[in-house]
Amino acid sequence: MSKANVNVLGHIKIFNPMTMEVFVDKDNSIHYENFSEALALSIGNKTTGYIHEMHFGSGGTSVDSTGVITYLPPNNSGTNADLYNPTYYKVIDDNSSRNLDPTRNKIEIRHIPGKVYSDILVTCLLDYGEPSTGQAAFDNATDLNADFVFDELGLKSWTGTEAEGKLLTHVIFHPVQKSLNRLIQIEYTVRCQTLTNLSSLG
């Protein structure tokens, strides 16, 4: 019997697609328990488990009066794990009827023949009018705790009810404001890599 160890890595890039200004470019944390269940459900051809939404929050950091940022640890344990303060989400599954813009919010699978890894590329665009209410007009926020000054983000699976899926990934970053005058695009790459071990059992 051969064994295959599956390693999952994640990386996120947040930028303005008009100016190409990059706000965040870093690795993220994987919730291995929830991800392992999602993999099994997906490969087992069940109706749940697949990536469905990208969730945004504003509770991952605190900023003191001198501007020093304190980062909370990512939530990557416990089946009911969530963002610290979720404030917005978008459906990014381009096969879902709930996705209102599947050309700009989508999931692509990328694989190079002969390689032992495949990439899941999740693309999400927050347009000028998103979120539809509550945004500041300009990107000059002084309140870094406002709902749409994002500092955490995660992918969630579909479990049968929108916005109530299981957290698969979580990343904490310095505050980034979403305002009416700013487009924000997220490219979230999750790499699933198989490390083969040819040792036999028994």
Residue 143 has pLDDT above 90, yes or no: no
**What pLDDT does residue 4 have?**
64
> What is the band of 6 on the pLDDT scale with cuts at 50, 70, 90?
confident
Amino acid letter for position 145: N
Question: 170 vs 7, which has greater pLDDT?
Answer: 170
Residue 142 has pLDDT above 90, yes or no: no
> What is the band of 134 on the pLDDT scale with cuts at 50, 70, 90?
confident
**What pLDDT does residue 187 have?**
98
Query: CB–CB of 19/27 below 8 Å?
Result: no
Task: Count the alpha carbons within 13 Å of 147 in the hemisphere toward its beta carbon.
Answer: 12
* Separation between Cα atoms, residue 119 and residue 51, nearest integer Å: 13
pLDDT tens readout for residues 107-124: 999 999 998 899 999 999
Query: CB–CB of 72/172 below 8 Å?
Result: yes
Residue 188 has pLDDT above 90, yes or no: yes
Lowest pLDDT segment from 61-65, 172-176, 183-187 = 61-65
Structure tokens at 179: 């305002």
At residue 53, φ and ψ (nearest 5 deg) are -140, 155
pTM: 0.92
Residue 96 has pLDDT above 90, yes or no: yes
Residue 1 has pLDDT above 80, yes or no: no
Residue 186 has pLDDT above 80, yes or no: yes
- In Å, what is the CA distance from 171 to each residue of 3, 84, 128, 157, 162? 30, 11, 23, 16, 21
Report strand pairing: 149-157 vs 169-177.
antiparallel
For range 93-119, the mean pLDDT = 95
Structure tokens at 144: 């870094």
